[in-house]
Structure 1
Amino acid sequence: MTRADVLITAADLAEHIAAGRPVTLLDVRWQLAQPDGRAAYRAGHLPGAVYVSLEDELTDHTVSGRGRHPLPSGAAVEASARRWGVRDGVLTVAYDDWNRAGSARAWWVLTAAGIDGVRILDGGLAAWVAAGGALETDAATPSPGDVRVAHEDLYRGALPTLTADDVAQFDGLLLDARAPERFRGEAEPVDPVAGHIPGAVNAPSTGVLSAEGIFRSDADVLERVRGAEKVGAYCGSGVTAAVVVAGLRAEGVEAALFPGSWSQWSADPSRPVATGE
């Protein structure tokens, strides 16, 4: 696994488009405080990009007991991907404008479903604009795609995952991708219980990114995981942990995602909670 298997630069994407090669662009604008990115999409997006709702299309809120952002089924992913115009053998690029959270979630979900050729736009929307890329405001109406998923259950899909029971007996390095104050239990703006999973170490998702939102090949967390035989990652609800998973995978390190993350773990009063460093 190389960096180019996970990420694509704005320059390479522009070259790909200029050469007339097909590409499906997914605008996955999402922020913790502003989960609906439709207004941002309408204000300006990459030409031809279709808006993807992390809350409605990359999550199945009808599933209970698996945290705040349960994974969708393979059938739902296939239907959504075809609606977005994703085609077999055609490059798919997901981008966002906030800490790579939305695009990493899309990359993880589609890849876990068995869809090949999905990349994250390194640096997101800002990198595209900085490289001189144009934006448009008209909503895209792509032709239906033809992609097929290989996995119906993403919890047992093409990317490694951990269940809450797996985490309880995990003998590898478990990374908590939330902000330090949430890890320590000093603040918890979303979930009812503050703290972290005992044995986890804090590795904020922003730590794998530069100030410009580019994935860092020199991120501190890479030094931590070099000698680990097993690596797992979680966050609040499985979204920003995908940023850490993507950053590690781009550098050749495979990490398993705990999709339910802290929102699932902390909802079970039988699970232990740690605070502090």
Structure 2
Amino acid sequence: MNAIISASELASDLAGENPPVLLDVRWQHQGSQPAAYEEGHIPSAVFVDLDADLAGPAGSGGRHPLPDLDHFGAVMRAAGVSPDRDVVVYDGGQNWAAARLWWMLRWTGHTSVRVLDGGLALWTGPLERGAGQSPRPGSFEPAPNSTDFLYADSAAALARSGLLLDARAAERYRGEVEPIDKVAGHIPGAVSAPTTENVAADGRFKPAAELAARFEALGVSRAGEVGVYCGSGVSGAHEVLALAVAGIPAALYVGSWSQWSADGSRPVATGPDPQ
């Protein structure tokens, strides 16, 4: 199944006999946006809070570590998610938050999840206001796999043995600026690959062939295994999604730079080269 779905395809699916579970995960760096959901959301969508439901408390695991999986499973079931029912996720348009939920569902065993390409910004259908209705509970039980997940040590190893992509802005990778974390730079051996270069001006992903060519130029064909990190495991999920659109499987280092840089024993590289 494709990793993304267009607004027109979603409208058709929602009007069909077996509509997908629809999850609204609007979020910005300032936090989750339940008020925006109540002001207008795609009919039948259920709001999911990234900070409360897709991440645990900030700490040694980074700014957006994994949540308690029992809690995550309960939230997904309450939203109507079941293993045998398609799921579509969207956010306000950047698709970073939507990609985080897409990745979490895929990592925990759901095989039929797509992201609305371009997010709510490209939806031209009706919107509904208010808190929404509670759907019939689903039966999804998270069953994580090890293939899609990286720890700090495995990310460091992959930067040497395969390809580790840094999805942050290039100036953060080079260590010229660091607006959020205490230390500037990148994981030694990682390759700069800003996730913003995976999308067109309207927020939709570039064509699969164009994405494949981009990742080929970054070294995917020579790598074998591919991993991604960012600042805190949100925009990195968007890069994993872009790789999936291009037909390239990749793992995510959820702790990302916020975890790596907080540990003074870990090396830090600066400049334009992986080192």
Q: Same fold (TM over 0.5)?
A: yes
Give distance in 1, aligned partners of 2:155 and 2:47. 34
- In the other structure, the counterpart of 2:28 is 31
List runs of 5+ in structure 1 lacking aligned partners. none
Indicate how the Cα distance of structure 1 residues 222 and 212 shifts in structure 2: closer, same or farther if over 3 A, else same: farther
Residues in 1 aligned to 2:197 and 2:45: alpha-carbon distance in whole angstroms: 28
Tell me what 1:182 maps to: 172
Pair 1:13 & 2:10 matched: yes
Q: Is residue 166 of structure 1 aligned with residue 162 of structure 2? A: no
Question: How far, CA to CA, are the matches of 1:262 and 1:176 in structure 2?
Answer: 9
1:141 to 127, 133, 150: 133
Structure 2 residue aligned with 1:193: 183
Aligned residue type for 1:166: S
2:38 is equivalent to residue 42 of structure 1? yes
SS at match of 1:94: strand
Q: Within the alignment, does 1:101 sit opposite 2:100 as a pair?
A: no
Q: Distance in 1 between matches of 2:6 and 2:244?
A: 16
For the residues of structure 1 that align with 2:116 and 2:146, how far apart are their CA atoms?
Answer: 21
CA contact (8 A) 1:31 1:98 kept: no
Matched residue type, 2:215: V
More displaced stretch, 141-150 vs 229-238: 141-150
| 1:56 matches 2:52 | yes
Aligned amino acid, residue 51 of structure 2: E
Unaligned runs of 5+ in 2: none
Matched residues in 1 for 2:132 and 2:216: separation?
A: 38
Matches within 5 A, 1:105-254: 105-129=100-124, 133-151=125-143, 154=144, 157=145, 159-170=147-158, 171-216=161-206, 217=208, 218-219=210-211, 220-224=214-218, 225-254=220-249
Alignment partner of 1:226: what SS? helix
User: Which residue identity is paired with 1:134?
Assistant: P
Q: Which residue of 1 aligns with 2:82?
A: 87
- The normalised TM-score by structure 2 is 0.91
- AA partner of residue 53 (structure 2): E
Q: For residue 73 of structure 1, report the CA deviation from its aligned partner.
A: 3.3
Tell me the CA shift for residue 150 of structure 1. 4.4
Name segments (4+ residues, structure 1) moved above 6 Å. Answer: none
Q: Give a deviation string over 1:74-132, Cα, whole Å, max 9, x none.
A: 32221010111213322111001142101100001111111232111111112213xxx
Paired with 2:194 and 2:109, the residues of 1 have a C-alpha distance of 27
User: Is the 1:26–1:50 Cα contact (8 Å) retained in structure 2?
Assistant: yes
Which amino acid in 1 is paired with 2:204?
I
Write the distance in 2 (CA, Å) between the matches of 1:226 and 1:96: 32
1:265/1:215 Cα in 2 relative to 1: closer, same or farther (>3 Å)?
A: same
Seq. identity, %: 47
Alpha-carbon offset, residue 36 of structure 1: 2.0
Change (3 A) 1:9 1:159: farther
